Structure 1
Amino acid sequence: MGASWKMVDEGWGRKAVDFATLSEPGNVREYVTLHQHLRVGDGDRLLDVACGAGLAIELAVARGASCAGIDASARLVAVARDRTPSADVRVGDMQALPWDDGSFDVATSFRGIWRTTPSALAELHRVLVPGGRLGLTVWGHIKKSPGAWALAPFRLATSAKVDNQAAMVSLGRPGVGEEVLAGAGFVDVRRVSVPFAWEFADPETFARALASTGPAYEAIQNVGEAAFFEAATRRARELVRDGLPLRATLDVVGYLARKPS
């Protein structure tokens, strides 16, 4: 992994507390919906891949599951461990999971596995029990989303980085995720709609939350933090509503599947 490992923690971990408190709470609708589809409950052993600051793990534990998680960012893992001390949360590579075959009944990943990381799916297949359930989410059709404005500042990254982001999210295109999951050995693959909306108190809070993410770091590397914040707040100011939060509704796709019995 080398340099790529370090870059993940630099991009996602450098503002871990901002991400955990300002950005990740907006993902709750997504987490709850997928857990409901997967019927997560008492007795389930659940692994969350690219678990970030661990809010999805905390919610799964509240449903009765015993949980493990893995993320490349040590600083985000520290937050996840603080939130749920009972969970087995590790710093590591999702493409080389440090658990034995058949260790889990359920596996999830919330916008953490991409078209560019297919070997992570092979690893999830390996660590699931026969009949184990899998749930993934990925970005869907962003350009047609009412909240597309909220992700526009990411395009301030270099053209190579923007192209890579597009390749990553292509897993959400119709038919693509189904084909990739089937190729990894999963069956009963189906696509579900997942509600997703970010809400913020004001443009400045939005900019601070967005700046805590990995794609924002790629843009900041290219144009600088001041230019990124200016771009992030400019459009948001036009969308301020009296007495209501800023709201960005975005298309998120869910995939459900299982390992053959």
Structure 2
Amino acid sequence: MTDLDWTLVDEGWGRRAADFATLSEPANCREYVAVHHRLDVGDGDRLLDVACGSGLAIELAAARGALGAGIDASPRLVAIARDRNPDADIQVGDMHALHWADAAFDVVTSFRGIWGTTPDAVREIHRVLVPGGRVGITVWGHIKVSPGAWALAPFRMAAAAKIGNQAAMVSLGRPGAGEDLLARCGFVDVRRIEVPFAWEFADPDVFARALASTGPAYEAIQNVGERAFLDEATRLAAEHVRDGLPLRARIAAVGYLARKATP
């Protein structure tokens, strides 16, 4: 990863780090809790979260007794992750070159942080796991048929090349894609699971602000400007307001669970 790439990652995901941490990431709790449960994360597990963002998944793993660590390319998100997890080893870095030694962890997770465009990160995950160690990776599923697909529509305001890259990223959610990648990287007992995911927001303005704090939103904002992006996100959300209920966008997500073979 080049220096320019590092700068772009932090600009896309870190420019509104506090908004992401408090408005967007809490909606991921269902996803985090479900995967931790399926991996049987518990007391004493040494756990690494790859592309850890603002560290909520590490905090939830610690509540189950795990000893957390994390890595993310955004210094501003890592600052929040460290604030949430003062006893965890959370580093700024490249997931393709993890800073830890071989066999350093019992569990590795990554929540929509590894994509079809970053497959080599899975080899690094394999390296830092102990024999028999568990891995859980989530990705978007079939977005187009999701009831909440409308919530991701503003991302398509990005330039055509960026939209094409987004499609390549989510390709890991296609049937067989994740299973094949994990198997090629040496994992065994690979399973695909459905992962619960739903965004909930108080109103269209909060939704638009939360969405604007994400990396894909930044790509759209670069193309059309922030005001146009916020206006479109607010307009779309207004069509889904329900009297007395929060905005809710349920989106298909899938997970891959596997383990490192024991010699």
TM over 0.5: yes
- Tell me which amino acid in the other structure corresponds to 1:247: R
The residue that corresponds to 1:220 in the other structure is 221
Given residue 256 of structure 1, which amino acid in structure 2 is its aligned partner?
L
Q: Secondary structure at the match of 1:240?
A: coil
Structure 2 unmatched ranges of 5 or more: none
Provide the C-alpha distance between the structure 1 equivalents of 2:188 and 2:6, rounded to a whole number of angstroms.
31
**What is the CA–CA distance in structure 2 between the aligned matches of 1:237 and 1:43, rounded to whole Å?**
46
Task: Report the alpha carbon displacement of residue 238 of structure 1 after superposing the two structures with TM.
Answer: 1.2
Percent identical pairs in the alignment equals 75
Q: Is 1:57 aligned with 2:58?
A: yes
Match runs of 1:1-261 below 5 Å = 1-261=2-262
Between the aligned partners of 1:213 and 1:43, the Cα distance in structure 2 is 32
Q: Which amino acid aligns with 2:13?
A: W
Distance in 1 of aligned mates of 2:118 and 2:236: 33
* Distance apart, 1:235 and its partner CA: 1.2
**1:8 aligned counterpart, secondary structure:** helix
- Give the whole-Å Cα distance in 2 for the aligned partners of 1:48 and 1:239: 33
Output the CA distance in 2 between the equivalents of 1:239 and 1:172.
26
Shift of 1:105: 0.2
Structure 1 residue 118 displacement after superposition: 1.0
Q: Distance in 2 between matches of 1:174 and 1:38?
A: 21
Task: Name the CA distance, whole Å, in 2 between partners of 1:94 and 1:18.
Answer: 24
SS in 1 for 2:255: strand
Aligned AA for 2:214?
T
**What is the CA-CA distance between 1:57 and the residue it aligns to?**
0.2
Q: For 1:187, what is the secondary structure of its paired residue? A: strand
> What CA distance in whole angstroms lies between the structure 1 residues aligned with 2:241 and 2:210?
16
> Cα offset for 1:173?
0.2
- For 2:184 and 2:217, the matched residues in 1 are separated by 32
List, as ranges, runs of 4+ consecutive aligned residues in structure 1 with deviation greater than 4 Å.
Answer: none
- Deviation of 1:196 (Å): 0.4
Residue type of the alignment partner of 1:136: I
How many Å apart are 1:72 and its aligned residue?
A: 0.1
CA RMSD in angstroms comes to 0.4
CA distance in 2, matches of 1:21, 1:136: 23
Amino acid at match of 2:46: R
Paired positions, count: 261
C-alpha separation between the residues in 2 aligned to 1:128 and 1:238? Answer: 46
Taking structure 1 as the reference length, the TM-score comes to 1.00
3-state SS in 2 of match to 1:41: coil
